[in-house]
Amino acid sequence: MRRILVYGVTGSGKSTLARRLGGRLGLPYHAIDDLTWDPGWVPVSAEVQRDRVREICATDDWVIDSAYGMWREIPLARADLIVGLDLPRWLSFSRLLRRTLRNVTRHEATCNGNYETWRNAFLDRKSILVWHFRSFKRKRRRMRQWHADPDFPETILIRSPRELESWLATLGTRQP
């Protein structure tokens, strides 16, 4: 496992897991939100996103924490492993809500120095909380299809925090 895509619904813990996997296995971790949002919540163009992701995925070692539709085929063509966080909606949403509240109340930066605000978290139609509900079924269906398709890279589905910790315990560590 040298090229790993962590996939899941919004709030499922993709970034946290990808960071842990990178550290544990000695692989570079790339936060996708840092590649897709510039400061001031300015979206990066699809062309630039594709170029950035293509550059990362052309290397031999990486862990990324998502696969956006406009360039999903790039990591899928190179991934050795897909880890699907197929957690229950209540769990992923509660994690997302806690994280959002923490980021807003503590004024903690997210990607590229961007900050969530009460307005964009709770009042905006494009809120990450709203996005969770809009995308949950589609993302869950997609990772389950990948798991069932023998033509896809190996795909494991993790359905609980306990299952995740058990799986992580089976992994070795890579020495530099």
Give the pLDDT confidence of 96-124 residue by residue, as tens digits. Answer: 999 999 999 999 999 999 999 999 898 88
CB 145 within 8 A of CB 155: no
Query: What's the pLDDT score for residue 1?
Result: 86
Find the radius of gyration of the CA atoms of the chain: 16
> What's the half-sphere exposure (Cβ side, CA atoms, 13 Å) at 41?
10
3-state secondary structure of 157: strand
CA dist., res. 37 & res. 14, Å (int)? 17
Query: What's the pLDDT score for residue 147?
Result: 98
Query: What's the pLDDT score for residue 174?
Result: 59
Q: What is the DSSP letter of 59?
A: S
Give the pLDDT confidence of 150-166 residue by residue, as tens digits. Answer: 999 999 999 999 999 99
0.85 exceeded by the pTM?
yes
Short-list 47, 50, 20, CA closest to 32: 50
Low-confidence ranges of the chain (pLDDT < 50): 175-176
Domains identified in the chain and CATH numbers: 3-169 (3.40.50.300)
